[in-house]
Structure 1
Amino acid sequence: MFRLTQTVRNLFLRFQGLFGVLFQSISDFVRNIFGFFAKLFGFTSSGYFLESDQVQSIKQASAKEPIETNQDNTPKIPATNRRRPNAKLDDYYLNMARDVKKN
Structure 2
Amino acid sequence: ETGPAFAESKSLPDCAVTSAKSHGVELALFRALMIHELGETPLAAPCSFYEAAAANLATSLNSQHGDRWGAVSLFIHGRVLLDDPVVERVRTIYESK
TM-score range, shorter chain: under 0.3
Considering only CA atoms, is the larger Rg found in Structure 1 or Structure 2? 1
Higher helix share: 2
TM-score (norm: length of structure 2): 0.23
TM-score (norm: length of structure 1): 0.22
Instruction: Between the two structures, name the one with larger relative contact order (CA 8 Å, sep ≥ 6).
Output: 2
